[in-house]
Structures are given as structure tokens and as C-alpha cells.
Structure 1
Amino acid sequence: MQWDDRLTTLGINLKANEHGKWSATTARYQDEMEAQGQHHIWFTVLDENNKPKSNVRVFVDWIGRDKDDPPTVRMTDADGRANVDIYANLDITKKNGPYFAYVEGEDKSDVIAGMGLPEHHHVNYMLTFAPRLDVPVPQPAPTPPTLTTPPLTPPPLPQSIEESILQKAKAVEWMPVNNGSALWNFAKANGLQDQQTDEIAVTINGQEYLLQVFNLGIVYAKMGDWGNIKVIKK
């Protein structure tokens, strides 16, 4: 809003209508020398693109107007302009200018009030109105998503070596051994072991083992550690 401070000195004021269609954007004062004999309220009405808007009704009303005497109304021309001549005095000590101006209706516009001729001197009031721009209501910031931390999976407990060996040994089919047969005795006499499975590789706690099932026990050792072979009794 461009407001001439000389208007405030004369008691002229702006009554803003936040719900009105028309907003006062400029209010300037022309003193007796600037007005060059004129004594008018000048309107300029602009559209949404800040271009002159024609055929808009503008009003000058006054305090104490008889209810049967309508306010003065004008239509803006092709340049978006209109004017109303005024005659009532404005006492500069009482600041009691009777005129007030608006566009289309008091309920549709800001109102500039308190105008008149200061001590009967001829002056002009230059008013500009434009459609009120809707100020967007700031939207609340979006609520950040709640980050859920997945539960930590505990590391697996170290496997028991003997339990792992037994589990792996039982996972394969054992060969039946008849240690009373002639064939078994022949194999025993010739140093052939009575194995029930082939050699089986298994990884336990990151370490490679080799195992083999025999009739009376399960033999195992770390891969390559052949001097430390152990037996699990069956």
C-alpha cells in the first residue's frame, strides 16, 4: 500500500476490508498548487494483471447523507478512471472530512474516509484500487515419517563341535555292519576298517572338518590336522 503521509495529517484513514474484493493500493494527496484548481476524488481501478479496468462502479459517500439521497456513483472509463467533484469543508483542527470512497460497495471494498477540502482549499485525492490478492495460507510442514529400527538379529551361538558332528553323521544313511560274518572278519584281519559311511566334509563355526562313521564310533578331525583325530562313541 502506497500511502501519502499528508493524508494522515489531515485525519484521512483507510478502513481495510480483508474479505472485500477490492483493495486500496495507492492513496495520494494533491495540495492546492498540485491540484491546479481541481477539487476531486480521482479513482483508478486496475484488474488482476495491473491493467486499467473499465465499467466498474465507484462511489463517493458522505457522513450525514440523507437516506433518500443516494451516494454519488461513477463508472470507470477505458483508462480505468473516474472522478467525483467535492465541495464540503475539512476542518484541519477537527479532522472531520465527511467524504469516504469505495468500489462497487462498502462490503466489497476497502474504504478511504475522512476526505474534504482543507479550510475550503481546492485539493485532489488520487485513489487506486485493484482486486485483493489472496494470500496463501502457509501449510504446516509435513510430519517426518517415524523411522523404525528393525530389531537386531543376535549372532548365532557357537555350535558344539560334537553335536554338529553327530548331526551331520546322522544325516546320511549308515551302512549296516555284521561283525560276525566271514566277510567282516576277513576285512578286519586285513586291516580294512568297518566304516559305515564315506568321508563327509562339514563346516562348523567357520572351520572345515572331516568325519567318517564306523561301527563303534564316529571319527573326526579338523581338515589337515590329522595328528589330532578324535572319536565320538556311538
Structure 2
Amino acid sequence: MTVDDSPRPGLSAERVGMFTDAIFAIAITLLALEIPRPEEPEQLADLGHFLSEHSGAFAGFALAFLMLWFNWRAHHTLFDQLARVSQTVLAVHIPLLLFSAFLPYTTGLLYSGSLPPDARSIALAMFGGTEAVLMLCQGLLYTLTLKQGLYAVGANTARMGTAAAINWGIGILWALSAMLASPLGDNTTLLWLATPLVVVAILYGMRVWRGREGERASLHGGTP
């Protein structure tokens, strides 16, 4: 790498990626600490009942784990294709890492036990909103990478575009769930379960769009 190609101090993709990996790893670990544990002798004596009573906490842990895993994979895949990091990309990491670290708290709050309806609606909105910020930040990172030309030579920009669309789509779905948490109540989780459907719909839509772009390019004798 020449001197002119060297990243500015503080904008090394490797260091930013390593620090982000560490935050994701810590957040994933903290999720397990939010799972209730039997503390009283009677709880230990009837462990099966205790675990069944707190089955929602385990489901919440699994859901939050999968979302953090998805975020980590998306970030890792992106940074493997970066040539450099811009100030804007670095700034997006502030809410990304802030809400990654905050996710264990919202998960524990939501699945801490029996909550009154109003309190549960707030907890649902906090959990959904936190996940929305994470996904929207990932979508923004991919979008900025493409717009600012931060990717390395040979990077798959088509897949980057698809990843950006998927993250934006999931982020919007979870943001919608946060906004509708009060009227929907526990039915808010049905919107969360629609996440795979959003991914499939976007993949299909991108495939159709690129197919039509290819047809137009062929008709005009050019490239898409």
C-alpha cells in the first residue's frame, strides 16, 4: 500500500472491525446473563417447573442471539470487502454499537416475568426499536459503502446492494413493530416472525429487477 492509499489515523477498517467484533461478542455473552436463574431452594427442587415458567426468557435469548448474529455476519461480510472507512461510516457505528450493548437490557426487561399490559407494550417497543436501529445501521453502512466507493477491488457490489436492501427492509419491519407495540400488544411478535418473509420478498424482488435491467441492457446493446 502506498502512502497516499493509507487510511487516515482512526479510520482503519481492521481496527474498527475488531472493536465492533468485541462489542458484539460481549453483547451476546450478556444476553445469557439476563436469563433468570433459580435462587430459592424450592426453585431448585422443582427445576423443571422453574424452567417451564421462564421458557419465554429462553425464547427471548434465542431471538436476540439470532438477531445479533445476523448483524455480526452482515458487518463482518461488509468489512471483509472494504478498502477504507469514511468519517460517516465511523459515525454510524456509534448507534450501532450503542444499541448492540443495550440489547441485553431490553431483552431481560421484556422477558423478566409477568408485566402489566402497559409496561409490556413499552418493553416490546424498546426491544423492537433496538433491533430496528441495529438493522437500519447495517443497511446504512452498506449504502454508504456503495455510494462513497469504499469497497475494495473485486468486491461483489451486487451482493452489497442486496444486503443493503435486506437490512433496510428488516429494519423498517422492526421499526413498524415498535410503533405498533401499544395497540398490538403481544401480537407484535407476529411482525417479528415475518422477518424471513421480508428477506425472501426482497431477494425475489432484487432478482426480478436485475433480470429486467439485464434485458434492457441487452436491447440497447450495453451493460446493466
Answer whether TM exceeds 0.5 for this pair.
no
TM-score by length of 1: 0.21
Q: Which has the higher helix share?
A: 2
Larger radius of gyration: 1
TM-score by length of 2: 0.21
